[in-house]
Amino acid sequence: MPEATVNWISGMKFEAVTPGGYRFTIDGKRQEGVGAMDLLLHGLAGCTAVDVVLILQKQRQPVEGVTVNVSGERASEHPKVYTKIHIEYIIKGDVKPDKVERAIQLSEEKFCSASAMLGKTAQITHSYQIFPPESA
């Protein structure tokens, strides 16, 4: 089972430690570290990015780069959950649009656990752009 540990440093700062020993700062004021709710968006971005890359590779698409930008809107009342999330995929390579659409669909509907979980409270939308490969 995945584990997460945070140790209070001071004020609203905590040191996060992963089971593998990676460390980073969570800051409730978002001044000296990432905010806890921001981490959820980063987790979603990472989850779907991994899926899309793997699926495009399995489709034998010559993908050269993938950037995923995620933005979210939160409820105005506590617990201030995300109510709207938009995922933007920026794909570099000579890839076919229908293959990109299929990779995103499979990630959203089947593979990305973060998307499935956040989709319980948020309307999740997506868009994508494809840029040609760089010339050698």
Query: Which pLDDT band holds residue 2 (cuts at 50, 70, 90)?
Result: confident
Tell which residue, 49, 77, 42, has the closest CA to residue 65. 49
Q: What is the CATH number of the domain that holds 68?
A: 3.30.300.20
Say if residue 129's pLDDT is above 60: yes
Q: What is the pTM of this model?
A: 0.92
What are the pLDDT digits (tens) for 65-120?
999 999 999 999 999 999 999 999 999 999 999 999 999 999 999 999 999 999 99
Pair 41, 25 in one domain: no
Tell which residue, 129, 122, 92, 90, has the closest CA to residue 108. 122
Q: How many domains are there within the chain?
A: 2
Residue 4 included in any domain: yes
DSSP assignments along 52-93, one per residue: HHHHHHHTT--EEEEEEEEEEEE-SSTT--EEEEEEEEEEEE
Cis omega before residue 97 (within 30°)? no
Residue 10 included in any domain: yes
